Amino acid sequence: MKIGIDAKWYFEGPPSGKVVVRNLVENLVTLFPNHQFYIFLDKRFKSQPISFQQKNVTIVYMWGKVNLIANALWFPIVAWKYKLDVAVLQNFAPLVSNFHSIVFIHDVIFESDPHHFSLTERLYFFPMKFLAKRSQRVCTVSKNEKKRLLQYGYGNESNIDVIYNGVAAQYKPLNSFPDDIIQQVKQKYQLPEKYLLYVGRLNDRKNLKNLIESLTYLNEKTIPLLLFGSYDWKSINLDEIIERHNLQRRVFRKGFADQEDLPIIYSLATVFTFVSYEEGFGLPILEAMASGVPCVVADTPVFRELFSDCVVYTNPHDPNDIATKISLLIADKNMYDDKKENGLILSKKFSWEQSAKKLIEVVESMK
């Protein structure tokens, strides 16, 4: 089959979306040499190297600055001459096309929780449902997200497929890395001996306000919280919250980490914390588990679906409960070791190879 893949996020895009696109593309072109893949990349990054050069791959560069416009209008024009059988696009399907389309919608939390999104965001996402109905199939990342898509009319039970995210092999326990590399990363980011870790966007939905406030209730009065990520869309002033609680010496915003350093940053953490109000999947939790780090996460349906009893759950609306669960995990060695071991075991059940195979099943069903 001639398969088009919208990979404009390969170089730049939403943090988790970029990880998903990179890993799916690299696995698809390697695992399925019998298919011809047309990989659509953002032409702004034409000078950037790519990691796949297989004979079954054709690279197509296109305008991709605004994903909505690029997918709805420009992608079908650029793709027309290739006579694709199927194309897989991120979030927004084409308005019209000469090929079957599969739209991969990572989440529609803006529908169920609009208060966490700015007016600009909600207006931007507004056409997603209309365009999804013009696509033959919809893929999403969890059963919980499929339920949300069904609730808000993005498809029906039979045309929405669930494809779980995977975790890359680079995420592994600390003892898997050479000592000199560990020391280089520790020095580069000024990492303390013990720390709580958060990795992700610094926006309203991630509930960083309550996470930061939880430090005031912790039994451990010196352990710092490191935040890796950057502000985007609807955000709150974290510096104001940090100063209000006099936590300038305990909460540190580190910005984005280089991709090659992130596995060691995870594996050095004492506890990974992720108390987001809502998620489509929660990829950083899976990466932390694969790194051998116990996790304290929000008690939400999607995390119950994915992570079972391999994490410690907390009420995301209560900073005191967040602190209680972190303190309990640190103090109870048996619990700590249990969550660490079971998290490692569970993480091995999620792979990008499996994700790619599932996506190809969906693609091939449209022959």
Domain boundaries, the chain: 2-166+351-364, 174-347
Look at residues 258, 261, 263 and name the one whose alpha carbon lies nearest to residue 169.
Answer: 263
Task: Tell me the pLDDT band of 207, cut-offs 50, 70 and 90.
Answer: very high
Secondary structure class of 221 (helix, strand, coil): coil
The CATH number of 2-166+351-364 is 3.40.50.2000
Mean local confidence (pLDDT), 241-259: 93
Give the pLDDT score at 367.
Answer: 79
Give the pLDDT score at 78.
Answer: 97
58 forms beta bridges with: 38
Q: What percent of the chain has pLDDT over 90?
A: 92
Task: Tell me the pLDDT band of 350, cut-offs 50, 70 and 90.
Answer: very high
Give the pLDDT score at 51.
Answer: 84
Give the pLDDT score at 235.
Answer: 73
List the end-to-end C-alpha distance of the chain, in Å, as a whole number. 8
Task: Tell me the pLDDT band of 204, cut-offs 50, 70 and 90.
Answer: confident
Which CATH superfamily includes the segment(s) 174-347? Glycogen Phosphorylase B; (3.40.50.2000)
- Encode 296-319 in three state secondary structure: EEECCHHHHHHHCCCCEEECCCCH
The dihedrals phi and psi of 274, each to the nearest 5 degrees, come to: -150, 95
Cα dihedral 140, 340, 342, 350 in deg (nearest 10): 30
Whether residue 234 is predicted with pLDDT greater than 90 in this model: the reply is: no
Give the pLDDT score at 224.
Answer: 97
- Judge whether 2-166+351-364 and 174-347 match in fold: yes
Give the pLDDT score at 192.
Answer: 97
Task: Tell me the pLDDT band of 258, cut-offs 50, 70 and 90.
Answer: very high
Residue range 134-183, pLDDT digits in tens: 999 999 999 999 999 999 999 999 999 999 999 999 999 999 999 999 99
Whether residue 53 is predicted with pLDDT greater than 90 in this model: the reply is: no
pTM of the model as a whole: 0.95
Residue range 28-37, pLDDT digits in tens: 999 999 999 9
* CB-count exposure of residue 19 (10 Å: 0-12, 13-18, 19+): buried
Residue range 151-161, pLDDT digits in tens: 999 999 999 99
Residue range 124-136, pLDDT digits in tens: 999 999 999 999 9
Look at residues 296, 292, 274 and name the one whose alpha carbon lies nearest to residue 346.
Answer: 292
The dihedrals phi and psi of 241, each to the nearest 5 degrees, come to: -65, -40
Residue range 271-328, pLDDT digits in tens: 999 999 999 999 999 999 999 999 999 999 999 999 999 999 999 999 999 999 999 9
Task: Tell me the pLDDT band of 232, cut-offs 50, 70 and 90.
Answer: confident
Give the pLDDT score at 54.
Answer: 87
Task: Tell me the pLDDT band of 52, cut-offs 50, 70 and 90.
Answer: confident
CB distance 233 to 200 below 8 Å: no
Regarding beta strands 160-162 and 137-140, do their DSSP bridges make them parallel or antiparallel, or are they unpaired?
Answer: parallel
Whether residue 231 is predicted with pLDDT greater than 80 in this model: the reply is: no
The string over 39-74, giving b where at least 16 C-beta atoms fall within 10 Å of a residue's C-beta and e elsewhere, is bbbbeeeeeeebebeeeebeebebebeebeebbbeb
Give the pLDDT score at 15.
Answer: 86
CA–CA distance, 97 with 4 (Å, rounded to integer): 12
CB distance 32 to 357 below 8 Å: no
